[in-house]
Chains A and B, each alone.
Chain A
């Protein structure tokens, strides 16, 4: 009998190829174009013990290792984080519209950043600046607020969903109030809201990596539980599952991933919603397959979008949130058509 719940080698090779291609494009394209062989040569040089024997372009070396590689890594980790968080939310809510911002984290992060900007609060904590801290606290605070409302409303999944909608609406109205009151800050806030990847060396990558690794591991460990939740709750319990613990742990880990991602990149829409669906429609609907593949595809997709945003109106940059939706939406519409009623 052929293996079930297994990531097929074909889908794994395609996903890794996408990551590699996005890596070459992200590193190679920009104001200074660096061909793929030179990129590979530079990496061989970087990791080589006999560096004196290889000739390299020092300027390209600086461009790659101090600017483009950190940006590629940040884009990959943010895309992967949002895609994994999307898997977690869709698994728990069993709703095709579920995305990482469902429980109000986008609105919370938006309000947090707005308050930091309009009151001109400037401080930093180790390598994290005040805007990132505002977004992180806002995003997690919103989710906790939704959870608190839900706990007092019967602790059911539909009540949590509705509490998230109410929290998001309330926080968005607060944010809009501050944006109108402090009109001069509107452009700065708006440019954060539509999402962008900005790196200053490796600081952002160092910030997100531990969150990513821990939360990814936790959500991946719950892959079988998420598959059981695709049945009814009672059936899941009888098959050895523990729905309540799964809801709590997966939503906590997904919310943490979302909070750290939005704090570093702003509100990049669409990735967390659509990447899990793309993997579900093209490869498998099992979370054992979806979680790792969504991480690879989500990371590759965001770095593709980032590269596109850097080169399309160069030397200026398009906000990445516009690009993810502009490229992703038509592709997803095509997939939906091809899926012929799978939703």
Chain B
């Protein structure tokens, strides 16, 4: 059981973006995907989401990803791209209800169960007081929480986040990481998250996939890559490491 890739290869417009990468993580893992710009982080997330064709094997709980998303009624994947669509004139509650789309059909609207699940998602993300506000008027941090609330409404088992904190300030970034760590622990959500923020993931993340030019230079426990030599080579720049008072690594 878990998330397994073997020789996963992805071409986009005949260009090899992901080149024979392999990994194996248990369900409920919190995996960060790191690497320099253009390494293939977004492509890997989209492939995990079933949005791209691939060669090699990619399975979740021993089932092929595409078949799983197509045929399973109790497995849901939420994908949040780096640039989120913010619809004009849509209220937060309507935005979160979009997460229930695949549970309704062509003719019927949402039922009481859908309303209960959305309400629970709103409350869990502390967005209850904002539910009638337009999503356009939400702050960056609130918008990120709204995407998580939509994922909860979707009853997602797998959460794929593409550089979710790239537009957040320092405090909001820490809040966001704490939040998804709680979701990972409380709801046993598997999380794959791409980021450049090594210092935050060294605190919160459990596993890491390091990519460079489409190749997998490492996949495994995060502690194994928290050293100056590995990260300096990965990002092709000289990095220094210090250890904080509470025992975490900081790179600069």
Contact surface of A with B, Cβ cutoff 8 Å: 1, 4-6, 221, 224, 227-228, 230-232, 234-235, 237-241, 280, 284-286, 288, 342-343
Contacts and interface: CB of A to CB of B under 8 A. Distances in A.
B49 A230 contact: no
A35 B85 CA distance: 52
A2 B66 CA distance: 37
Given A234-B46, A239-B154, A285 B81 contact: no
A1 B97 CA distance: 12
A1 B85 contact: no
Contact of A235 (B79, B90, B91, B106): B79
B142 interface: no
B101 A240 contact: yes
Contact of B87 (A238, A239, A285, A288): A285
Contact of A241 (B46, B90, B101, B109): B101
Given A234-B51, A239-B98, A342 B78 contact: no
A5 B87 CA distance: 15
A13 to B, nearest CB: 20
A1 B115 contact: yes
5 contacts: A4-B93, A228-B98, A234-B49, A235-B85, A286-B94
Given A5-B110, A6-B109, A285-B87, 13 more contacts: A1-B93, A221-B107, A224-B101, A224-B106, A227-B94, A230-B87, A231-B87, A232-B84, A232-B85, A234-B49, A235-B84, A239-B99, A286-B94
A4 B94 contact: yes
B4 to A, nearest CB: 21
A235 B93 contact: no
Contact of B102 (A1, A232, A239, A284): A239
A285 B107 CA distance: 20
A234 B89 contact: no
A343 B88 contact: yes
A236 to B, nearest CB: 8
A184 to B, nearest CB: 49
B133 interface: no
Interface residues of B, number: 32
Nearest to B150: A239
A280 B109 CA distance: 20
B101 A4 contact: no
Nearest to A96: B88
A1 B91 CA distance: 14
Contacts of A238: 49, 51, 77-79
Given A235-B85, A280-B89, A286-B90, A240 B102 contact: yes
Per DSSP, chain A at the interface is: loop
Interface in B93-148: 93-94, 97-99, 101-102, 104, 106-107, 109-110, 115, 118-119
A343 B87 CA distance: 11
Contacts of A286: 90, 94
Given A235-B81, A280-B89, A285-B90, A224 B97 contact: no
Contacts of B109: 5-6, 288
B138 to A, nearest CB: 15
A235 B51 CA distance: 10
B101 A239 contact: yes
A189 B240 CA distance: 77
Nearest to A233: B85
Contacts of A221: 106-107
Contacts of A240: 101-102
B208 interface: no
B83 interface: yes
Contacts of B87: 230-231, 285
A280 B46 CA distance: 33
A261 to B, nearest CB: 25
Contacts of A6: 109
Contacts of B106: 221, 224
Contacts of A343: 88
B21 interface: no
B83 A227 contact: no
B149 interface: no
Contacts of A235: 79-81, 84-85
Contacts of B154: 239
A224 B106 CA distance: 8
Contacts of A224: 101, 104, 106
A288 B107 CA distance: 11
Given A221-B106, A231-B98, A286-B94, A237 B51 contact: yes
Given A230-B87, A342-B88, A5 B94 contact: yes
Nearest to B80: A235
Contacts of B91: 4
B89 A342 contact: yes
Interface string B180-192: 0000000000000
B85 A230 contact: yes
A5 B81 contact: no
Nearest to A232: B85
Contacts of A284: 89
Contacts of B84: 231-232, 235
A244 B104 CA distance: 20
Contacts of B83: 232
A227 B89 CA distance: 11
